[in-house]
Amino acid sequence: MTGRAKSEEVEAFLKANPDLEAAEAFVTDPTGIARGKLLRAADLAKIYQDGRPLPCSIMSLDITGEDVEETGLVWDKGDEDKLAWPIVGTLKRAPWMARPSAQVLLSLYDLDGSPYVADPRHVLAQVVERLKGRRLHGRGRRRTGILHRRSRPRGGRQAASRRWHREPAGAWIASMSIA
């Protein structure tokens, strides 16, 4: 999910949601934290037309919001902006908010329009493309408590590999398969 959304998407959304007052526009940083801006609904269309400048160091923060010097994205003076663009299909109502609101996911691009190297969505898209070249594709899904056989013995006991094991709810399972 990295494609840039077109302005027709926001126009249709605003037409269908005339009561909208605000929107949260955010990127997901490499640690999984949503970081971005709260906008007035009237400013939402502008992001789809012109993008939204965000500091590139937003991708160099740890989970507490502190700079991680080792990323090479922390500047001594100032901070270089990148353009954040909405991702197609991510503009949705946020019915849990107190006032009529929406949320939209953004992805960062260099000023020349190329994908920003530190945006995790672009990194993942590159990995997916490399896998396609090898006729492979990655999958991930959230388990909800499923029984399966262990493929490796636990604690060095061979008998453990033949027993059923309940995967805890919420565990992430990743796999690779041939296309």
Tens of pLDDT along the chain (179 residues) come to 557 888 899 999 999 999 999 999 998 888 888 888 899 998 999 999 999 988 777 776 777 767 666 666 565 555 678 899 999 999 999 999 899 999 999 998 988 989 988 788 888 888 888 888 888 776 655 544 444 444 455 555 544 334 444 444 444 444 444 44
Residue 159, in any domain of the structure: yes
Rg (CA), the chain: 21
Could you tell me the two tokens for 83?
Answer: 């353009």
Which structural domain, as residue segments, surrounds residue 161?
137-178
Q: Are residues 119 and 141 in the same domain?
A: no
Q: Are residues 126 and 141 in the same domain?
A: no
Residue found under tokens 């926001």: 10
pTM for this prediction: 0.69
Q: Which of 114, 60, 105, 65 is nearest to 87 (CA)?
A: 105
Residue 29, in any domain of the structure: yes
Q: Which of 24, 51, 30, 62 is nearest to 110 (CA)?
A: 51
The angle subtended at Cα 139 by Cα 138 and Cα 145, nearest 5°, is 150
